[in-house]
């Protein structure tokens, strides 16, 4: 059965209506490109046709090139050729935009001679978020329409703008008065023809670039800005391409753009960022979200007004939910409320909301010390002290007061949620919702699935994540779930390296050079060394006595050197400084502990440090997948990117491992195991994949028979 054409052409009263129909977002796959090229040629040749109108079917104009085609052998026609054909049309071509017109989609619109948009339009050139640049003439046409400064802003930020801003900057010519984009488009074509308007090729426009000095200033400012984008490849190429638009004739500029585009396409960052793009969409597809509908979610409760409780309350308030915060007494409740208000006062100070805006939000906040206030809650998140007895007491209360069908969630970051669920009469309603601090900022939300939970409760967790604009990852129950478990392992590898001869500052430098915003010891100082200390004490009873244990961190904590909050940790933070300076006393303690451990220190190259740090992360990631704690390797990637600072342009540790090659990772682990066979036990899954010549990505694609 032949596939429906992706592009339809029909003629209405001398207007050729070119309608793109390639759900879900009219991506410019090869069928759409061919269809567009043929439609323009037909319209050109049809004497009945006086003008051409391009529209998109469904919820989008065009969301860009088909990202799935990148990395595949190119198929003609190329998008630049299609855009050039549209622009070269001898009859006026009008693009009518509704919904997303992004990347190649906006490039198609910019190659048209006139553009209108409805209020629903979202226009942008977000290629930089995929490690690319606008490669179908966008870097040459956008500056000719809106000037270098506005064009560079769109391309370097990747942000989406609305119709009003697009009109102000000259990206479109008209805003439709209704959402019926086809009707509005046809009416506008008649208006354009009625005005006797001629073809207006963007390549020929000069007005927006007339003020040469201003264009030069824009380029210089952009060069300064891209220098701050640590490690990213394509931003600088974008500026080079826009520079070409200022310096070269159009067609030469196009050739320069193409060359720069090819460089970005070949960069591993493109593969990493495109993996991240699709992985963030795949994590939403958990078995429970496919099989069950979420429960109602209007009124929510938060138990505990501490840092996490208050952050969770703000996240809920920000999305329009009614929040009831429960605390043990009025004083604690007042402190909880104050923490919530402090966030909004900060936003007022930054001019991000008005005091009226704050009042409207806080009107949806209720504080109480009596659990009965939660009788109508649809979902309750507990964020109290990490102690099982305290959790049991809270859940006993919730079990008593919450209505049937209410979702009972715990924000614990490591306690056994199966045990918490077993403590109530409705274990099917208990789930883990593991937020990351600050909970109103951090994107990641681990949705921890205990054994007895019902599918619609899990689906409700995902629905909440969507409402909170969080990135949800489904995780099984184990100590540390996905993220903290892997963190503990690569942090231990770092401690081993420190005791073996590397300084904590070298290790942090390695992590930053790899693309992390901070190294593990800077993170420890920011979060507070006392948190890790409590974890180590908690785990002491169950720690394998044969396992190597490094005492350096404990030594700092026993001195009260917890980090920024105590003015020193691994680094010194004089006078409340936010950036630390290396501390010779810490190095002395490290030396002391090496001597006590009988370690003869040695030097490590940054490459050796990086290979051990990443190998520990990847190996534990593989164990988390093989045990089913994470559904797929991409779930590990999304967790580490959105919760632990793993550089997004590398896609995540499992994607990075695939790009390095699993045989090399396994060989490293086996090499390291010669020194410490207990710590460096290669994951069975890693051994299996190497033996089968497969990579982690093969498990992302649904043939998950990795058991
Ligand atoms: N190509 C292929 N698939 C795409 C796609 C695209 N451009 N955009 C979206 N999808 C899929 C997505 O994977 C999901 O699939 C479904 O559509 C719905 O998306 C030469 C080089 C448009 C704002 O970067 O930002 O043009 O999971 O869940 O929340 O210069 O998708 O259902 O199987 O995100 O409503 C530039 C990327 C490409 C835009 C809609 N364009 N897309 O958001 O739905 S590079 C982009 C988005 C380029 C040229 C260059 C968003 C959206 P599935 P969704 P949404």
pLDDT digits (tens, 9 = 90+) for 200-251: 999 999 999 999 999 999 999 999 999 888 789 999 999 999 999 999 999 9
Q: Ligand 1 centre and the CA of 281: distance in Å?
A: 10
CB atoms within 10 A of CB 34: 17
Evaluate whether 359 touches 366 at the Cβ level (below 8 Å).
no
Mutate which of 28, 31, 67, 467 for ligand 1? The one with the most ligand atoms within 8 Å of its CB, which is 67
Find the mean pLDDT for residues 678-684.
Answer: 98
Question: Can you tell me the distance from the alpha carbon of 678 to that of 698, in angstroms, rounded to the nearest whole number?
Answer: 28
Which residue CA neighbors atom 38 of ligand 1 most closely? 64
Confidence of residue 706 (pLDDT cuts 50, 70, 90): very low
Angle between helix 684-691 and 606-626 (nearest 10)? 100
Q: What beta strand segments (E) does 469-577 contain?
A: 471-476, 571-572
Residue 618: is its pLDDT beyond 50?
yes
Residue 2: is its pLDDT beyond 70?
no
Which residue CA neighbors atom 54 of ligand 1 most closely? 281
**pLDDT score, position 1:** 47
Evaluate whether 336 touches 309 at the Cβ level (below 8 Å).
yes
492 to each of 498, 503, 617, how far by Cα in Å?
A: 10, 14, 10
**pLDDT tens track for 139-159:** 999 999 999 999 999 999 999
Residue 707: is its pLDDT beyond 50?
no
Q: Ligand 1 centre and the CA of 278: distance in Å?
A: 9
Q: Ligand 1 centre and the CA of 86: distance in Å?
A: 23
Closest CA to 401 of 377, 432, 429, 428: 377
Q: Please give the positions annotated as active site.
A: 107, 127
Q: How does the average pLDDT of the chain come out, rounded?
A: 96
Q: Ligand 1 centre and the CA of 100: distance in Å?
A: 9
Find the mean pLDDT for residues 379-392.
Answer: 96
**pLDDT score, position 705:** 45
696 to each of 633, 658, 690, how far by Cα in Å?
A: 6, 6, 10
Find the mean pLDDT for residues 94-107.
Answer: 98
What is the pTM (predicted TM-score) of this model? 0.96
Q: Which atom of ligand 1 is nearest to the CA of 282?
A: 27
Residue 519: is its pLDDT beyond 50?
yes
444-449 and 430-435: which strand pairing?
antiparallel
Both tokens assigned to 318 = 């920000």
Phi, psi of 332 (to 5 degrees): -65, -35
Ligand 1 site: residues with CB under 6 angstroms? 24-25, 27, 63-68, 79, 100, 102-104, 107, 126-127, 130, 132, 134-136, 138, 278, 281
Find the mean pLDDT for residues 105-127.
Answer: 98
**pLDDT tens track for 433-483:** 999 999 999 999 999 999 999 999 999 999 999 999 999 999 999 999 999
Confidence of residue 704 (pLDDT cuts 50, 70, 90): very low
* Residues contacting 309, CB < 8 A, separation 6+: 302, 303, 325, 336, 383, 384, 411
CB atoms within 10 A of CB 675: 11
Which residue CA neighbors atom 25 of ligand 1 most closely? 63
Residue 623: is its pLDDT beyond 50?
yes
Evaluate whether 525 touches 566 at the Cβ level (below 8 Å).
no
314 to each of 155, 289, 441, how far by Cα in Å?
A: 32, 25, 9
């Amino acid at each position: 059965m032949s596939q429906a054409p992706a592009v339809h052409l029909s003629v209405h009263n001398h207007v050729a209506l070119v309608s793109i129909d390639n759900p879900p977002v009219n991506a410019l796959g090869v069928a759409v490109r061919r269809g567009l090229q043929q439609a323009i040629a037909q319209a050109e040749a049809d004497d009945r046709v006086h003008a051409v109108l391009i529209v998109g079917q469904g919820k989008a104009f065009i969301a860009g090139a088909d990202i799935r085609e990148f990395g595949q052998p190119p198929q003609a026609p190329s998008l630049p050729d299609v855009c050039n054909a549209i622009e070269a049309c001898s009859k006026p071509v009008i693009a009518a935009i509704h919904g997303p017109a992004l990347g190649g989609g906006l490039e198609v619109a910019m190659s048209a001679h006139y553009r209108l948009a409805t209020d629903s339009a979202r226009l942008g050139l977000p290629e930089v978020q995929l490690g690319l640049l606008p490669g179908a003439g966008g870097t040459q046409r956008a500056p000719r329409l809106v000037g270098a400064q506005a064009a560079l802003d769109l391309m370097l930020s990747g942000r989406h703008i609305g119709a009003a801003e697009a009109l102000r900057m000259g990206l479109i010519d008209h805003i439709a008065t209704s959402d019926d984009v086809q009707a509005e488009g046809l009416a506008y074509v008649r208006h354009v023809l009625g005005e006797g308007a001629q073809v207006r090729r963007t390549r020929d426009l000069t007005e927006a670039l007339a003020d040469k000095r201003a264009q030069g200033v824009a380029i210089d400012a952009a060069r300064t800005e891209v220098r701050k984008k640590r490690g990213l490849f394509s931003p600088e190429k974008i500026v080079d391409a826009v520079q070409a638009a200022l310096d070269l004739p159009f067609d030469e500029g196009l050739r320069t753009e193409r060359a720069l585009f090819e460089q970005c396409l070949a960069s591993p960052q493109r593969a990493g960022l495109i993996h991240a793009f699709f992985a963030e969409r795949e994590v939403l597809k958990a078995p429970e979200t496919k099989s069950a509908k979420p429960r109602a979610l209007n009124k929510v409760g938060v138990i505990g007004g501490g840092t996490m409780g208050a952050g969770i309350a703000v996240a809920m308030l920000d999305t329009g939910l009614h929040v009831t915060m429960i605390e043990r007494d009025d004083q604690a409740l007042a402190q909880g409320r104050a923490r919530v208000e402090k966030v909004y006062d900060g936003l007022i100070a930054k001019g991000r909301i008005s005091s009226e805006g704050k009042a409207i939000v806080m009107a949806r906040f209720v504080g109480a010390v009596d659990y009965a206030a939660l009788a109508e809650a649809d979902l309750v998140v507990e964020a109290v002290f990490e102690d099982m007895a305290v959790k049991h007491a809270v859940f006993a209360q919730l079990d008593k007061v919450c209505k049937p069908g209410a979702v009972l969630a715990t924000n614990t970051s490591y306690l056994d949620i199966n045990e918490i669920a077993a403590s109530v009469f409705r274990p099917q309603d208990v789930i883990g919702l593991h937020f990351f601090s600050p909970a109103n900022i951090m994107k990641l939300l681990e949705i921890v699935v205990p054994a007895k939970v019902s599918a619609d409760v899990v689906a409700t967790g995902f629905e909440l994540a969507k409402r909170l604009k969080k990135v949800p990852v489904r995780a099984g129950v184990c100590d540390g779930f996905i993220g903290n478990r892997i963190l503990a392992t690569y942090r231990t590898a770092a401690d081993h390296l420190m005791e073996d001869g590397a300084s904590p500052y070298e290790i942090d430098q390695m992590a930053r050079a790899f693309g992390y915003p901070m190294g593990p010891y800077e993170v420890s100082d920011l979060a507070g060394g006392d948190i890790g200390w409590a974890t180590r004490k908690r785990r002491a009873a169950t720690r394998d006595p044969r396992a190597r244990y490094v005492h350096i961190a404990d030594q700092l904590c026993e001195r009260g050197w917890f980090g920024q909050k105590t003015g020193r940790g691994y680094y010194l933070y004089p006078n409340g400084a936010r950036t630390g300076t290396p501390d010779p006393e810490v190095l002395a303690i490290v030396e002391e502990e090496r001597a006590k451990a009988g370690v003869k220190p040695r030097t490590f190259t940054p490459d050796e440090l990086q290979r051990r740090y990443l190998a520990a992360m990847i190996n534990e990631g593989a164990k988390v997948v093989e045990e089913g704690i994470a559904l797929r390797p991409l779930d590990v990637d999304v967790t580490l990117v959105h919760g632990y600072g793993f550089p997004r342009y590398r896609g995540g540790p499992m994607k990075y491992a695939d790009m390095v090659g699993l045989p090399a990772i396994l060989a490293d682990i086996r090499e390291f195991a010669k020194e410490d066979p207990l710590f460096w036990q290669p994951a069975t899954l890693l051994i299996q994949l190497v033996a089968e010549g497969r990579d982690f990505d093969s498990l992302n694609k649904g043939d998950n028979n990795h058991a």
